[in-house]
Amino acid sequence: MVKFTGTAGISYDVMTHDKVIVSLKNKRKVRNHIGQIHAAAMVLLAETATGMVVGMNIPDDKIPLAKYLNTRFVKRSTGAMKAEATLTPEQIEKIKTTEKGDVLVHVVVTDEAGVNPVECEVCWAWISKDALNKKKK
């Protein structure tokens, strides 16, 4: 787990091999200047949920890496927020059996009022740990 998620106060509400739901309370340390959850914290929710669902399916000899993240802020948020990331059976099979690849993970970010104030698209890649270690040398 990434330490920053604990610093922000993200809660892990559901964790299965095909779905992860994380949430964040609207508390002072994550608020912006208008009293809602800060844009960066909204993105952190999407990144955390998608990264966790991919990470739970990656074989032990691979490492997940965020490839890209696109975000559109479409409405003001209200109160606490949650992000739900899901993988299809086909995506899970690809992650488990492909040596190196990437997958676009579906994620929905919702606020306390049931509104989707932000739309995110997160692509995760994976490579072998050996390949990563060779690049470090």
> What is the tally of structural domains in the chain?
1
Q: 124 - beta bridge partners?
A: 66, 103
Q: Which domain holds residue 122?
A: 3-136
Q: Give me the pLDDT at residue 106, please.
A: 96
β-strand 81-86 against 118-128: which pairing, if any? unpaired
User: pTM here?
Assistant: 0.91
The alpha carbons of the chain give a radius of gyration, in whole angstroms, of 16
Q: Taking a C-beta distance cutoff of 8 angstroms, is the pair 42, 81 a contact? A: yes
d(CA 108, CA 130): 33
- DSSP characters for 20-88? EEEEE---GGGB-TTSSB-HHHHHHHHHHHHHHHHHTTS-TTEEEEEEEEEEEE-S---S-EEEEEE--
For 40, phi and psi rounded to 5 degrees? -65, -35
- CATH code at 17? 3.10.129.10
Give the mean pLDDT per block of 10 residues along the chain (137 residues). Answer: 71 96 92 87 96 96 96 94 98 96 97 95 94 71
